[in-house]
């Protein structure tokens, strides 16, 4: 099953998106959608589910979080992680965690459903794919107009009985700076 992930469109649907999203079984939008028109256009490509970002009006009727089960994999989506993305990246790079870092990480994990294997988020506009404690943390980056010096991109999850592969597709002519793909094997247990 192929799940396309977008975030931080801020009311702009890049003209490349319909072609890049074609063939997706569903689309998940990790917030800062901007307008109902973006959701309508994405919904014309594939069934679309979204969460409310920090700039989305309540009139869009989007929930702050969403849980989906796809091919037996529980996906939890929110716009902004309860800890900065940079902290989560540092934890993943410095395993095993000890002392205060380990305790902060345990509290961070308590924020997510115990059965989730994938956490999708946005907000930072910075693409990120990493595994920590048996969970894949995935930020597809921003699919909206260029902001900051970060690449514009979207994400793909390929979910099978063997596991989940997270990859990125760039929306710019040059795609330097996109993270490598990440593989989360099926059946792993959460460590926290």
> Over the stretch 94-109, which tens digit does the pLDDT of each residue have?
888 888 888 999 999 9
Q: What is the pLDDT of residue 99?
A: 87
Angle between helices 99-109 and 85-93 (to 10 degrees): 120
Q: Rounded distance, CA 49 to CA 159, Å?
A: 17
* Residues with Cβ within 8 Å of residue 68, at least 6 apart in sequence: 28, 49, 74, 75, 77
Q: Rounded distance, CA 102 to CA 187, Å?
A: 23
Q: What is the pLDDT of residue 189?
A: 61
Beta bridge partners of 65: 78
User: Which among 126, 119, 106 has a CA at the least distance from the CA of 178?
Assistant: 126
Confidence of residue 169 (pLDDT cuts 50, 70, 90): very high
Q: What is the pLDDT of residue 175?
A: 66
Q: Rounded distance, CA 27 to CA 153, Å?
A: 14
Q: What is the pLDDT of residue 190?
A: 63
Q: What is the pLDDT of residue 98?
A: 87
More confident residue, 174 or 179: 179
Confidence of residue 191 (pLDDT cuts 50, 70, 90): low
CA dihedral 62, 64, 69, 74 (to 10 degrees): 160
Question: Does 176 score more than 70 pLDDT?
Answer: no
Question: Does 187 score more than 80 pLDDT?
Answer: no
Q: What is the mean pLDDT of residues 67-73?
A: 94
User: Which among 54, 178, 49, 189 has a CA at the least distance from the CA of 120?
Assistant: 49
User: Which among 117, 130, 111, 133 has a CA at the least distance from the CA of 168?
Assistant: 130
The pLDDT mean for the chain works out to: 93
Question: Under a CB-based contact definition with an 8 Å cutoff, are residues 39 and 59 in contact?
Answer: no
Classified by CATH at the fold level, domain 2-184 comes out as: Purple Acid Phosphatase; chain A, domain 2 (3.60.21)
User: Which among 94, 165, 174, 92 has a CA at the least distance from the CA of 133?
Assistant: 92
Q: Helix %, strand %, coil % for the chain, to 5?
A: 20, 30, 50
Confidence of residue 38 (pLDDT cuts 50, 70, 90): very high
Q: What is the mean pLDDT of residues 124-146?
A: 95
- Quick: pLDDT tens for 108-134: 999 999 999 999 999 999 999 999 999
Q: What is the mean pLDDT of residues 64-77?
A: 96
Cβ of 35: how many Cβ atoms within 10 Å?
16
């Amino acid at each position: 099953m192929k799940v396309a992930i977008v975030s931080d469109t801020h009311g702009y649907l890049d003209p490349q998106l319909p072609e890049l999203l074609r063939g997706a079984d569903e689309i998940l939008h990790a917030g800062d959608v901007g307008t109902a028109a973006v959701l309508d256009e994405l919904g014309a490509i594939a069934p679309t589910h979204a969460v409310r970002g920090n700039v989305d009006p309540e009139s869009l009727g989007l929930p702050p979080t969403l849980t989906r089960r796809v091919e037996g994999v529980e996906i939890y989506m929110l716009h902004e992680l309860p800890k900065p993305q940079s902290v989560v990246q540092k934890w993943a790079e410095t395993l095993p965690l000890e002392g205060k870092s380990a305790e902060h990480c345990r509290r961070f994990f308590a924020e997510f459903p115990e059965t989730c294997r994938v956490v999708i988020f946005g907000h930072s506009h910075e693409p990120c794919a990493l595994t920590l404690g048996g969970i894949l943390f995935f930020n597809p980056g921003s699919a909206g107009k260029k902001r900051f010096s970060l690449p514009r991109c979207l994400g793909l999850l390929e979910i099978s009985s063997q596991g989940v592969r997270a990859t990125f597709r760039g929306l710019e002519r040059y795609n330097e700076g996109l993270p490598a793909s990440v593989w989360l094997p099926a059946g792993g247990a959460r460590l926290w």
